[in-house]
Structure 1
Amino acid sequence: MPFKISTRLFIRFFFSFSVLFFLIFSGCVRQETPKKASLLKRAVEISADVNDIERNTLKFGFDLRLDPKEDVRIYSPFLEYLQNATGKRFSIKFTEKYEDTVDNLGKGITHFAAIGPLNYVAGREKYGNGIKYLVSGVNNEGDPRYQAVIFTRPGAGIHSIKDLKGKPFAFGPRMSTQGHLIPRKMLEDEGITVRDMSSFIHTDSHMSTVRVVLNGEYEAGGIQDVLARRLEREGKIRILKISEPYPSSIIAYNSALNAETVKAVRSALLVLEPEGRHKDKLIDWNQTEMPLGFISINESEFYKIAVLARRYGLLTK
């Protein structure tokens, strides 16, 4: 006989099963809710911790010098030194565009920055007292000044600055003191303006300038003295001319910082001994414009930078 089930029995069975399923499901929900609430609470706590760390972290920016990877490798242990010396938390704020370094400082996105004197003068013009001077870098001779270099590649057939007339030239970033401002004056001192060149370019860093010259895209370029001297020792470039000394790169800060933080960071910078007791804490610091640490100078030193910047239309006022 075929198996049959009555309609009434089926309804009773379906109703009972539905009730049982609802009880089981609701029990699971009641058991899972505390777990979900706990996880949500923990996520909120973690987010709050991260936000708290972010709020209490001092952001440090810098003008691009070599390439991003190298610059970060050099600045990371330097910031670790500052962190240990001041008890403040630091992190790097990297920017691809040269001008963004000083803009970030003026807007308060960063709190401190290592910038060239041209970028500092431009920042002061744009943000007024929103940006302030802290300390200047000291070179290998113990002087808070540096030089720019005009160079070519070995075998390029360029023997002096005058040979660059009618040739393509590579400057560094437009707001770079050593890569653009000073080399431009060096060329003009020899009677060569940008109009006398077959073409010119603004690269994004000193190292990029080196690359385009060595690749034969440009006959010569302008870069910082520390890098130029190292590359000449390695036989990779030939220096055509070294400029007179100008005020070195500086550390500047956003004026919204409290006085206690500024004082602590300034003190830590002034006692830094890159070639002495702190040498093992730093990496390749001798490749920067501050190889012997920092010193305070009179801001009137930046006047001749401002004069040149106005001559070349780099300042608006």
Structure 2
Amino acid sequence: MNRRSLLAAPLLLPALAATRAHAQGQNPSRLRMALLPDENASTIIQNAQPLRAHLTQALGREVQVVVTTDYSSMIEAMRFGRIEIAYFGPFSYVLAKSRAEGIEPFAVGVERGSPTYRSIIIANAEGPVKKLEDVRGHPVAFGDQASTSSHLAPRATILARTGLVGERDYRVVHVGTHDAVARTVESGRAPAGGLSEPIFQTLLTRGIIKRERVVDIAFSDPIPNYPMTMQSNLAPELKQAIRDAFLNLRDPALLRNFRVEGFAPTTDAAYDVLRETARILNLDLGRMS
């Protein structure tokens, strides 16, 4: 997730005092973009620098990157107009939309020619989980509660379809981020865990996780990829400029940090499948957000 162009200085969302009134109407001179805390915050901030330069030039105004403390704080910031652009996870977008109608997705990441990706369940290579059914009676590590590929998809489209129900057949343990899930499983603190397959592959490539210490157990169905969203009340010409800045992004160095090959147009309807997935798990969207 390359969010580099947005970062003039690392900003922690709770420290943002700005409100919608500070946005100078619908055509603000400064745009704030939030990036999901699905990896270590310092890593996200470091990788965010090149994108900041691209967006600042393309949009002709200051662009500032914001890294939130968790998914909920990002949802609330978008809801109350403290940020103008946000790169949500699929399910966190659904949660945000359930609280604030004035949010619109306009672009989605494309990987291997598809606007979808998968969740993966991994297990400690020396642990008791050798196949999916073995998680019964053990803790399973997940990321943020609002994470698509590190909570919703592993539970609903992998474990639940095998007949395994959280807190009945296995203990649900939330550890925060995708990389924290991988480290938890690698160390054996939990014998299995669910996270994004692209993030897992990145952790392996970087050498953060050792391939010989973890094994692949199962994969989810395709999930609609992360949407880029913006406030609907921005000026039409600014909204078009923001769309163009992402849809025309071709620089492989920038796209590599998003773990995508490019961006394609998207709409809210593309995420209805996640609303149905939440229904399967009996999740109350209003209560979760």
Counterparts of residues 1-16 of structure 1 (less than 5 Å): none
CA distance in 1, matches of 2:52, 2:262: 14
Counterpart in the other structure of 2:16: none
Q: Give me the whole-angstrom Cα distance separating, in 2, the residues matched to 1:63 and 1:305.
A: 18
Amino acid at match of 1:295: A
Following superposition, the deviation at residue 56 of structure 1 comes to 2.2
- Match for residue 37 of structure 2 among 50, 64, 81: 64
- Does 2:62 align with 1:89? yes
User: Which protein, 1 or 2, shows the higher relative CO under an 8 Å CA cutoff with sep ≥ 6?
Assistant: 2
User: Does the alignment pair 1:237 with 2:229?
Assistant: no
Match among 250, 264, 269 for residue 295 of structure 1: 264
Question: Residues 170 and 222 of structure 1 are in contact (CA less than 8 Å); yes or no, is this contact kept in structure 2?
Answer: yes
One of 74, 88, 97 as aligned partner of 1:124: 97
* Paired residues of 2:104 and 2:267 also in contact (CA < 8 A): no
Deviations 1:218-257 (A, max 9, x none): 1111111112234456515321111111110011111221
Evaluate the alpha carbon distance shift between residue 198 and residue 300 of structure 1 in structure 2; reply closer, same or farther with a 3 A threshold: closer
Q: Are the counterparts in 2 of residues 86 and 265 from structure 1 also a CA contact under 8 Å?
A: yes
1:168 touches 1:219 (CA, 8 Å); kept in 2? Answer: yes
Which is further off, 188-197 or 245-254?
Answer: 188-197
Match of 1:143 in 2: 114
Could you report, residue by residue, the CA deviation over 1:98-152 in whole angstroms, capped at 9, with x for unpaired residues? 1111221121100000001211111111111x1111111111x121111101011
Q: In 1, Cα distance between the equivalents of 2:173 and 2:258?
A: 24
| One-letter amino acid of the counterpart of residue 267, structure 1 | D
- Residue equivalent to 1:273: 250
Is the contact between residue 30 and residue 62 of structure 2 (CA under 8 Å) also seen in structure 1?
Answer: yes
Q: Name the residue aligned to 1:221.
A: 193
Q: Which residue among 119, 132, 138 is the counterpart of 1:167?
A: 138
TM-score when normalising by structure 2: 0.82
**1:228/1:237 contact within 8 Å kept:** no
TM-score normalized with structure 1 length: 0.75
Paired AA for residue 134 in structure 2: D
Q: Is the 8 A contact 1:170 1:212 kept in 2?
A: yes
Q: Which has the larger radius of gyration?
A: 1
- How many residues are paired up? 256
CA contact (8 A) 1:232 1:239 kept: no
Structure 2 partner of 1:207: 179
Residue 125 of structure 2 is aligned to residue 154 of structure 1: yes
User: In 2, are the aligned partners of 1:135 and 1:297 still within 8 Å (CA)?
Assistant: yes
In the other structure, the counterpart of 2:10 is none
Q: Are the equivalent residues in 2 in contact too, given 1:102–1:113 (CA < 8 A)?
A: no
Q: Provide the secondary structure at the position in 1 that maps to 2:64.
A: strand
Helix, strand or coil at the partner of 2:155: helix
The corresponding residue for 2:230 is: 253
AA aligned opposite 2:199: L
1:244-275 Cα shifts (integer Å, max 9, x gaps): 11110011111221111111111011111132
Instruction: Kindly indicate whether the alpha-carbon contact (under 8 Å) linking 1:168 and 1:197 is maintained by their aligned counterparts in 2.
Output: no
The 1:230–1:95 alpha-carbon spacing in structure 2 relative to 1, beyond 3 Å, is closer
Contact kept? 2:152, 2:277, Cα under 8 Å: yes
Q: Is the 8 A contact 1:187 1:193 kept in 2?
A: yes
C-alpha separation in 2, matches of 1:112 and 1:52: 12
CA RMSD after TM alignment: 2.1
Query: What residue number does 2:13 align with?
Result: none
More helix by share: 1
Give the 3-state SS of the residue equivalent to 1:194 in structure 2: coil
Cα separation, 2, equivalents of 1:269 and 1:187: 35
Gaps of 5+ in 1: 1-50
How many Å separate the matches in 2 of 1:52 and 1:144? 32
Query: What is the letter of the counterpart of residue 280 of structure 2?
Result: R
> What residue ranges of structure 2 are gaps of 5+ in the alignment?
1-21
Aligned twin of 1:21:
none
Query: Is the 8 Å Cα contact of residues 141 and 175 (structure 2) preserved in structure 1?
Result: yes
Going from structure 1 to structure 2, the CA distance change for 1:92 and 1:161 (only over 3 Å counts) comes to same
Per-residue deviation at 1:178?
0.5
Could you tell me how far apart the structure 2 residues matched to 1:311 and 1:110 are? 31
Identity %: 24
